[in-house]
């Protein structure tokens, strides 16, 4: 691509020739996505497509801090109820409660937080009840007749 377009040659012809020669040399075969359809071909045009792609690849959250904490609290509750031990439940809830406590002391920018700390003992009661029901279901029909 370092050569210049010769005078009198149509620009489109010049570019097409360079692409054809590069394809013949195999310059395009090692590229990521070679032979695969374009992922965003049917999507509507978005001027910030590259910014959103970069944020997604880098793992940045696009939610305001208050909404991100709400989502994290929801995920923590689900994770706590699916935990295998009481120690894990307490660890998960303690970690998210510290973040909630900090956000309540100094509210983050954005929409209202609308969160309170989790009652660890109440969640543990729910966790134990779910465990008892699961053990009861596993115990029914299992074992010698």
Terminus-to-terminus CA distance in the chain, angstroms? 79
- pLDDT value at position 144? 39
Which tokens go with 93?
């809830």
pLDDT in tens, 15-55: 888 888 898 998 888 888 877 887 777 888 889 888 888 88
Q: How many whole angstroms separate alpha carbon 19 and alpha carbon 37?
A: 19
Contacts of 106 (CB under 8 A, 6+ apart): none
Q: Give me the residue label for tokens 């969640």.
A: 123
Task: Tell me whether residue 27 is exposed, middle or buried, using C-beta atoms within 10 angstroms of its C-beta: 0 to 12, 13 to 18, 19 or more.
Answer: exposed
Q: pTM of the predicted model, to two decimals? A: 0.54
* b/e sequence 111-124, b meaning 16+ C-beta within 10 Å: eebebeebebeebb
Q: How many whole angstroms separate alpha carbon 122 and alpha carbon 104?
A: 21
What is the total residue count of the chain? 145
Query: Domain residue spans in the chain?
Result: 65-139
pLDDT in tens, 67-78: 989 999 999 999
């Amino acid at each position: 691509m370092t050569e210049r377009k010769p005078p009198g040659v149509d620009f489109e012809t010049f570019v097409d020739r360079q692409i054809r020669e590069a394809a013949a040399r195999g310059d395009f075969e090692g590229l990521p996505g070679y032979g695969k359809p374009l992922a965003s071909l049917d999507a509507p045009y978005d001027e910030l497509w590259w910014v959103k792609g970069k944020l997604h690849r880098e793992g940045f959250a696009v939610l305001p801090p208050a909404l991100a904490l709400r989502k994290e609290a929801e995920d923590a509750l689900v994770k706590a109820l699916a935990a295998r031990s009481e120690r894990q439940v307490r660890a998960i809830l303690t970690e998210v409660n510290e973040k909630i406590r900090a956000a309540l002391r100094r509210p983050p920018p954005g929409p209202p937080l609308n969160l309170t700390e989790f009652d660890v003992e109440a969640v543990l009661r729910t966790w134990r009840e779910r465990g008892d029901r699961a053990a009861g279901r596993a115990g029914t029909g299992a074992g010698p007749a």
